[in-house]
Structure formats: C-alpha cells, structure tokens
Amino acid sequence: MEYRDLLKDEIGQIGKVLAKIISEFTQLKAKSPTLAIETTSMELKKHLNIDLDAITKLTYDKIKESFHKKNLSPIHIENLSDLLIEIAILKKQKVYFTTALTFLDLADEISSTISFERLGKKQRIEKEMNNMMF
C-alpha cells in the first residue's frame, strides 16, 4: 500500500512540474518563441530528464521504455505531445509532429482506450503537416 501511495504522489508531482513548464512555455511563446523553446527544453531536461531533441530520434519502444521508467501517465504523455505540436509549428520541423503522433499512439496504448480528444489531435497534426512546407 505504501508503494502505491508513493507512486501516486510521484505521478502527481510529475503532473505539477509538467503543468508549470507548459504554462511558462505558453507565456514565453507570445514574447519570444525561440526563448520559449530553449527554456522549455532546459526545464524538461532539468526537472524530468526529458531531452526533446534526443527523444525525436528514439524508436517507439525506446520512448515507451523511457516513459515507463519515468512513471509518465497517458495524460503526461498527451501533454508532452501538445507541447511538441506547438514546437513543431514554431520551428516548422516535421520531426516534432511525427514524435507528437508517436506520443499520442503511446498514450492510447498505455491507457488501453481510444480518446476522441487524442484522435482530434492526431487529425490536427496530419492537417498541420499537410499545410506546412518542409
């Protein structure tokens, strides 16, 4: 029982850290998109040991393994996907879109459910990729 409580607390703490990072990204994005991306990347590395550039080069299985070790929930993974979508739009780089799609697929697998919200996000990513010139 104690282990479950500790795990639950850790997952809750991860959610709070991730929410803070995403909030700061949103605020900085309006002022300086480049600074927003740099700051967010540094904060993710510092607090969650997630390197956005490195993770775009990993396979599905490696990402799954990494997220499992970090105890990321489907909601955390979906939030990271949202962040990658925004970064992809700002940087105009397809690799962030494809990684965001991978994250959403992983969230589907881990949760064992299909979410209409995640399906909508996948459609948005496909639309954004089709509309952008890379």
Average pLDDT, whole number, for the chain?
90
Half-sphere exposure of 95 (CA within 13 A, CB side): 9
> The domain containing residue 121 runs over which residues?
2-131
Where are any strands of DSSP class E within the chain? Answer: none
CB proximity list for 76: less than 8 A, separation 6 or greater: 11, 14, 15, 18, 67
Q: Is the pLDDT at 50 greater than 90, yes or no?
A: yes
**pLDDT at residue 2, as a whole number:** 73
Tell the residue number behind the tokens 């967010």, with chain if given. 40
Query: In total, how many domains does the chain have?
Result: 1
Instruction: Label residue 115 exposed, middle or buried (CB < 10 Å: 0-12, 13-18, 19+).
Output: middle
Q: Is the pLDDT at 47 greater than 80, yes or no?
A: yes
